Structure 1
């Protein structure tokens, strides 16, 4: 019998200048797609981050009032490693982020502020590949981001945003979902992989609470392992994968 053909992933679209990444928590972007972001900023593209929460409920041994500011600092340092200087927080409550019009409005407002052609978010489905249950925050923010990409361009949805000086932006051409079990496109992770490792390591407090393994060993094993596995569908090159929804 012949071996089944592995469907190869397409390169990500390249004809864009501005991207906005919208996720639920600090470290969400670093667990998988910051190597792509490093490559994009190297090319002179503008990338900004919007986080729905400050991750204040993410460390059992730290009270939210202490944890939130610490994780914000780690996120800003992490973003800087891959060339991102604009990091915004929407201040939804970590762990209980709700899908709905309030979240869609906040994300649509961010899209109108930043006016990206590419929007990046995280897996919005119930599971990670049918193996592990996803968190409600990831599902809510991913789904709301997909919807807000359209909301941002319609002046009759959230008209109060226009009254606040945020004019409609219908320039989003793609929403790219990282961590999807049904990827369609990929970015060569090679140029940005070492910076991706350093970027995730900036979340040291969270990582040390998560695992007893040496942080660098844990981070490198996680990111390199996923990139090399994805590379089987991208010409053998380590890769960051995305499910791309054109608009």
Structure 2
């Protein structure tokens, strides 16, 4: 499969994801590049990630993770971050979720939309989360039901059709992911948060096959 350069003839993008930290685990470096070029990027999250920190009650965890996500988004130049309030770890492709996706796309009116990889496995032996798969399916169904969808819909994940050269923007991505301090600190107490972030960003911004950049972020064209 030939990987081509991500389109540049657009001004605004909407990132649709399931949880706090989802943008930072794959596309933050690309977002940092885009906002540095003057493009507008908006984040919309289905949940507040309130079930995501072991030992922390949902009513405490949700607001904390929202705050971490806003701080993380700000690092890469994203000012608009919204949370829809669907239940973390209980996300399903329901009419209610699809309606919210459609309403958000119509209200934000972006040129392009970016969302999560919806396949069963990131690679052999590394399964995807059910919330991600359900959310991705909801985005696709909602998109196909739109009378006038945006120009393009991409997913961030394996099987890339397009890529963004992110050389010079990976450190911003590291800083962005590291803003999820509490979440990462509980996830792996033995590894400093900044080291966790650097390892993850290095893994998600390596070379993309057949794309001429040392550091790149890959996307798969789903519609358009």
TM-score calculated relative to the size of structure 1 = 0.86
Deviations 1:146-203 (A, max 9, x none): 222233x32xxxxxxxxxxxxxxx2511111012x21111001113211100000000
Counterpart contact for 2:47–2:88, Cα < 8 Å: yes
In the other structure, the counterpart of 1:20 is 14
Identify the match of residue 167 of structure 2 among 187, 190, 196: 190
Matching residue within 196, 199, 210 for 1:233: 210
Q: Which has the larger radius of gyration?
A: 1
Give the Cα separation in 1 of the matches to 2:3 and 2:125: 22
Gapped regions of structure 2 (runs ≥ 5): none
Q: Deviations over 1:5-63 (max 9, x none)?
A: xx552111111111100000000000010100111111111110000000000011101
The question of whether the paired residues in 1 share the 8 Å contact of 2:25 and 2:204 is answered with no
Query: How many pairs align?
Result: 223
What's 1:146 paired with?
140
Tell me the distance in 2 between the aligned counterparts of 1:243 and 1:232.
Answer: 13
C-alpha distance in 2 between matches for 1:216 and 1:240: 20
Query: TM (normalized to structure 2)?
Result: 0.95
Give the equivalent residue in structure 1 for 2:196.
218
Measured on the aligned residues, the alpha-carbon RMSD in Å equals: 1.4
1:206 aligns with: 183
Instruction: Tell me, in whole angstroms, the C-alpha distance in 1 between the residues paired with 2:91 and 2:217.
Output: 26
Q: Give the Cα–Cα distance (whole angstroms) in 2 for the partners of residues 171 and 192 of structure 1.
A: 30
Contact 1:9 1:234 in 2 (8 A): yes
Correspondent of 2:26 among 25, 29, 32: 32
Alignment of 1:1-247 (within 5 A): 8-151=2-145, 153-154=146-147, 170-179=148-157, 181-211=158-188, 212-228=190-206, 230-247=207-224
